[in-house]
Every structure is written in C-alpha cells, then in structure tokens.
C-alpha cells in the first residue's frame, strides 16, 4: 500500500501500533488510519481509573495524544518526524464503563506544524472530551 501520491509506503495498523508501546500498554487499539482520519479505542479498565471508577483524564489524554500523533505522522513529508508541542483537552463527561473511541482529523498541515483535533466518544456516542494538539514537524536526520 502507498500514500495517495503513490510514492511512500503507508504503514499497516500493526506497524503503527508497534511504534507506540505506551499506547499498547494502556490497551489502545488503532482501528483505522489514513492521513484524513485516525480512529482508535481504549477500553475502560479499573487500573486506569480514579476515584469512583471514572476513567482517569490522563488515560483519555494519552488516547487523544496517541491518535493525534498518528494523524500527524501520516501527514509528514518523507523522512520527517513529529513530536507533540502543545495539547489541550476539554473533559465533558466521565467514563465509568465500556470503551472510549477517539477520532483524530488534521485541522492544519503545514511545513513546520501540524494541528490535529481529536474527539473522544463513549459507547453511547456521547462526546466525553475534545483535544486540540500541535505537532512539530522535525526534519530528517542529517545525511538521511
């Protein structure tokens, strides 16, 4: 498989997941990934909760950051890298069971910065959070 321009191989979902051991440890599952949209889920787990059995905000932010980073990665020029430089999340409701689905879409793909918006949804399709993050586009290593 190649990108829409036809010159860069697009990684498989398994290859993308393998690049994110922290996300794997949390239980995040990448379900779809294109430059236009990345989707993933995070199952509710007791060890990811805070008081009252509510999924911890840090777990939700990790989900959003992971899918946002994948979205940015899929929009990079050949050889470039990316890192999160800013992230803001609004928490809209608690998650006490089921799973959270994250959907990330690029708002801006520039030469030096990619801005991604990620919506977080519970199993009843209620928005539980909204994240906007900025990803720095890092140049390829010297000699690459």
Distance CA 86, CA 1 (A): 31
Report pLDDT for 10.
74
Distance CA 18, CA 23 (A): 9
Distance CA 131, CA 141 (A): 30
Q: Is the model's pLDDT at 2 over the cut of 50?
A: no
- H-state helical runs in 37-124: 57-73
Domains of the chain by residue range: 13-138
| Multiple choice CATH, 13-138, 3.90.1150.10, 3.40.50.300, 3.10.129.10, 1.10.3720.10 | 3.10.129.10
pLDDT of 30-71, one tens digit each?
A: 999 999 999 999 999 999 999 899 999 999 999 999 999 999
Q: How far is CA 115 from CA 4, 53, 101, 137, in A?
A: 20, 32, 20, 10
Backbone φ and ψ for 97, nearest 5 degrees, come out as -170, 175
Distance CA 5, CA 11 (A): 15
Instruction: Check residue 12 and report its DSSP letter.
Output: P
Pair 82, 137: CB distance under 8 Å? yes
The three-state secondary structure class of 2 is strand
Tell me the whole-structure pTM to 2 decimals. Answer: 0.90
pLDDT of 67-107, one tens digit each?
A: 999 999 999 999 999 999 999 999 999 999 999 999 999 99
Pair 134, 114: CB distance under 8 Å? yes
């Amino acid at each position: 498989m190649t990108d829409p321009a036809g010159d860069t191989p697009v990684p498989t979902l398994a290859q993308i997941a393998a690049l994110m051991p922290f996300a794997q440890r949390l239980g995040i599952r990448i379900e779809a990934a294109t430059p236009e949209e990345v989707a993933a889920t995070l199952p509710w787990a007791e060890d990811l909760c805070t008081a009252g059995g509510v999924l911890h905000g840090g777990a939700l932010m990790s989900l959003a950051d992971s899918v946002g980073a994948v979205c940015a990665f899929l929009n990079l020029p050949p050889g470039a890298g990316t890192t999160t430089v800013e992230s803001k999340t609004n928490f809209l409701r608690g998650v006490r069971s089921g799973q959270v689905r994250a959907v990330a879409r690029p708002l801006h793909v520039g030469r030096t910065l990619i801005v991604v918006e990620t919506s977080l949804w519970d199993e009843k399709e209620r928005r539980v959070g909204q994240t906007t993050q900025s990803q720095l586009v890092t140049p390829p290593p010297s000699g690459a």
